[in-house]
Amino acid sequence: MKFIIGQKEKMTQVFDGQGRVFPVTVVKVGPVKVTAVRTKEKDGYDAIQVQYGKNTKREFVSEPGTGNSELKFGDEVKVGAFAEGEGVVISGTSKGRGFQGVVKRHGFHGGPRTHGQKHSEREPGAIGGGGGRAGGRVAKGIRMAGRQGNDRVTLKTVKVIKVDAEEGKLYLSGSIPGRRGSLLTITAK
């Protein structure tokens, strides 16, 4: 069970030996200290609780039956646990966009720009109706204006492009959810 917590730094690009370019996100990863080891006998499940920085604690539940024999209380998890080319799962909080209309939030096209339209170019249009599929009420799940972003996002197809053990940085393929400085949890597939 490999895992670590880090902070998103920036996006850049990395070239390989054949001159191919890869867009990558640079993640500054901790040393992460083990603060608790949960066992099936004592706690009812197998997990490891780790701390990143002063205030951030996360718990990683291991697969049933695998146990947590390799890590003990006080151990450090470092970036060297990951290898180049390895697949990882990233979880983070996406950027918050605030209150957005239906054109930006859901990709609606809006109404025509001519033929009697006055002030309703970017409006959603009709949302209910009598005798329709919803029976005169607004049905659940109708796409409307509202808050966008600030959601928990998990990416399962991320690859480790480069590991910099000296600087404590991981170079991950593509873009990763969140703003600069946001916390990410990284686990091996």
Mean pLDDT of 130-136: 66
| pLDDT band for position 140 (cuts 50, 70, 90) | confident
The beta strands (E) that lie in 2-145 are given as 3-15, 21-29, 32-38, 47-52, 56-61, 76-77, 87-93, 96-100
Assign domain 3-96+148-188 one CATH number from 3.30.420.480, 3.40.50.300, 2.40.30.10, 1.10.287.1260: 2.40.30.10
Mean pLDDT of 54-58: 86
Half-sphere exposure of 126 (CA within 13 A, CB side): 7
Distance in angstroms (rounded) separating the CA atoms of residues 120 and 32: 53
Distance in angstroms (rounded) separating the CA atoms of residues 143 and 124: 9
Q: Is 182 helix (H, G, I), strand (E, B) or coil?
A: coil
| pLDDT band for position 1 (cuts 50, 70, 90) | confident
For residue 166, give Cα distances in angstroms to 29, 75, 79, 123, 169. Answer: 11, 19, 9, 53, 8
Give residue limits of the domains in the chain: 3-96+148-188
> Is residue 179 within 8 Å of residue 94, measured between CB atoms?
no
Mean pLDDT of 50-60: 87
Structure confidence at residue 101 (pLDDT): 95
Distance in angstroms (rounded) separating the CA atoms of residues 175 and 157: 11
| pLDDT band for position 159 (cuts 50, 70, 90) | very high
Structure confidence at residue 21 (pLDDT): 93
Distance in angstroms (rounded) separating the CA atoms of residues 130 and 133: 9
